Amino acid sequence: MSNKQAKPVHRDLKQDDLIVIAGAGGFIGGSLVRYFHHLGYTHIRAIDKKPLDNWYQRLEDVENLCLDLSQSESSIRAVEGAIEVYNLAADMGGMGFIERFRVECMRSSLINIHMLEAAYQAGVNRYFFSSSACVYNTLLQQDPNVRALKESDAFPAMAERGYGWEKLFAEMLCQEYWAERHMKTFVARFHNVYGPNGTWDGGREKAPAAICRKVIQAKDSGTNEIMIWGDGTQTRSYTYIEDCVKGIDMIVHRDDLTATPINLGSSELISVDGLVSLAEEIGGAKLNRKYDLTAPRGVAGRNSDNTFIKQVFDWEPSTPFKEGLTKTYRWIEEQYFARKAGERVVEDAF
């Protein structure tokens, strides 16, 4: 895994140009708002359909709007005057959510259709779409010792039902808006993004947050037992949030990636059992493991082939998983005990 620092990003943006971030009340969208705000961009419009009090992160000097982007009128309002649009809005969650609520996931197509057309009509310079590794052919992911998936492995198409097909369709929309209408679109395929300030309870959380919470709960309750979905052999790579938002910025401001899907993920593969062991180590616990073989588990294995992103940027997401998980565990631990003490925390909104 490369430890090289990313080269400076060359943006054709003025400090007061309008940046629109859809899905800003969520984990990655909220982190992206904070990222651009930290860079000194003064005109950011953050959009989410959740009430403002329910956003994971919210900056007061940002234009924060509650809009349902599955409606055309809301999408038109969202992108008025925008120079760049980052669409991270979707109805989604971890495997427990996307396997059980496929209709809700597929209805996100309405968001992508309306946002692309509104952005085109508004004359947006650059449009980013957050895709997913769930677009990849599931027939290539039936072994925990999976070979890393390269961008071409999305075809022949056999995406994950619901969420994966919705993402793949939106990728094709982005490509056609460039081919036919000459709007610059950019697509990154996220691989299991995790970190502080994300979902950690309530049914939409992903595996790293869920396992951290379960270890914390087991220690606190004294049960010293953990329930694991599947048989523990499933493998994944997990991408730390700081690598993700940095990668988005780099991809959107690289013209030779226009309408070209690219992996944005770590290539550090770990099993679910390995993830549990790491969380136990961080938390100072040793738990009895039980396995729920009827629970949603997703594909047997999935990893990111980073050949292309290293070729383009001489960089790849490289935060070691143990380092990122330690920060995530400590943040969830704070949230857990704050909630136990009666304080309102981010998950109380759901």
Q: Name the helix (H) or strand (E) containing 109.
A: helix 108-121
DSSP class of residue 21?
E
Contacts for 148 with CB less than 8 Å, ≥ 6 apart: 267, 269, 303, 304, 305, 306
Q: Are 87 and 107 in contact (CB under 8 A)?
A: no
Q: Are 260 and 196 in contact (CB under 8 A)?
A: no
Q: Is 101 helix (H, G, I), strand (E, B) or coil?
A: coil
CB atoms within 10 A of CB 4: 11
* Catalytic (active site) residue 120: no
Q: Name the helix (H) or strand (E) containing 280.
A: helix 272-283
Q: How far apart are CA 182 and CA 125, in angstroms?
A: 10
- Opening angle at CA 29, ends 315 and 40, nearest 5: 75
- What is 242-271 written as a DSSP string? HHHHHHHHHHHT-GGGTT--EEES---EEE
CB atoms within 10 A of CB 339: 15
Look at phi and psi of residue 31 and say left if phi exceeds 0, alpha if psi is from -120 to 50, else beta. alpha
Contacts for 6 with CB less than 8 Å, ≥ 6 apart: 246, 250, 313, 315
> Residues 41, 86, 127, 163: which is the catalytic one?
163
CA atoms within 13 A on the CB side of 124: 31
Q: How far apart are CA 126 and CA 19, in angstroms?
A: 10
Active-site residues, by number, are: 163
